[in-house]
Amino acid sequence: MPKTSPTHDRPRLILASESPRRRDLLKQIGIVPDKIISPHVDETARPQEKPAALAGRLAEAKARAIAASAPGCLVLGADTIVACGRRVLPKSADADDARRSLTLLSGRRHRVFGGVCIIGGDAQARHRLVTTIISFKRLEAGEIEQYIASDEWRGKAGGYAVQGRAAVFVDKIIGSYSNVVGLPLFETAMLLHGLGYSADRHG
């Protein structure tokens, strides 16, 4: 695993995520991780665990899974939880999962909780938890089936991707848009800045 190099004027950054959306979001603000490693973490919610607590716990678990073997590096872990009330909506593994989620969200408000955790060289965890409220319009059965046919829902929490075709379902967003896509950029950038890591001015 890489260590901080004396030729660098900032710490090395590892993104503990296999999500291409998080990688692309970071690149959007001029941050390119030195390495991307997929952590192996059980994402099952604990009994009575609230969605916000789950997002925060999994973000730290992902970061710690990589940080243990990456001394001297900054390790960024993140998790996105879509919840309707206290019900956590899973990443859609099949069309039935996506259909159930979209039917539940139709005409309702729901919340997206984004947990961010950065483990610094001192092995201490720094956290942010961001909440975004989203209102969906009432969806017709045909709209849901057309969206299912697009395959865009695959692997998406809540069965939709707000940055894609599902944008037309959204009546209102209150809070961070990037949080819904996969990573709250303002909060992540502030955490990194506080640890001596700044964006690449050359993008």
Exposed/middle/buried for residue 199 (C-beta within 10 Å: 0-12, 13-18, 19+): middle
Q: What is the pLDDT along the chain (203 residues), one digit of tens a residue?
A: 444 443 357 889 999 998 999 999 999 999 999 999 999 999 999 999 999 999 999 999 999 999 999 999 999 999 999 999 999 999 999 999 999 999 999 999 999 999 999 999 899 999 999 999 999 999 999 999 999 999 999 999 999 999 999 999 999 999 999 999 999 999 999 999 999 998 875 54
pTM value? 0.92
Q: Which residue has the tokens 């037309």?
A: 168
| Residue 161 in tokens | 């991707």
For the domain bounded by 13-194, which CATH number is listed? 3.90.950.10
Q: Which residues of 66-93 are buried (b: 16+ CB within 10 A; e: fewer)?
A: bbeebeebbbbbbbbbbbbeeebbbbbe
Residue 36, classed as helix, strand or coil, is: strand
Domain ranges of the chain: 13-194
Q: How many CB atoms lie within 10 A of CB 192?
A: 23
Give me the helices (H) in 29-140, please: 51-67, 95-105
Residues 34, 13: contact at Cβ < 8 Å? yes
For the chain, counts of helices (H) and of strands (E): 6, 7
Output Rg (C-alpha) for the chain, integer angstroms. 17
Q: How many CB atoms lie within 10 A of CB 171?
A: 12
> Are the C-beta atoms of 35 and 78 separated by less than 8 Å?
no
Catalytic residues: 79
- The torsion region of residue 159 among left (phi > 0), alpha (psi -120 to 50) and beta comes to left
- Rounded distance, CA 114 to CA 182, Å? 7
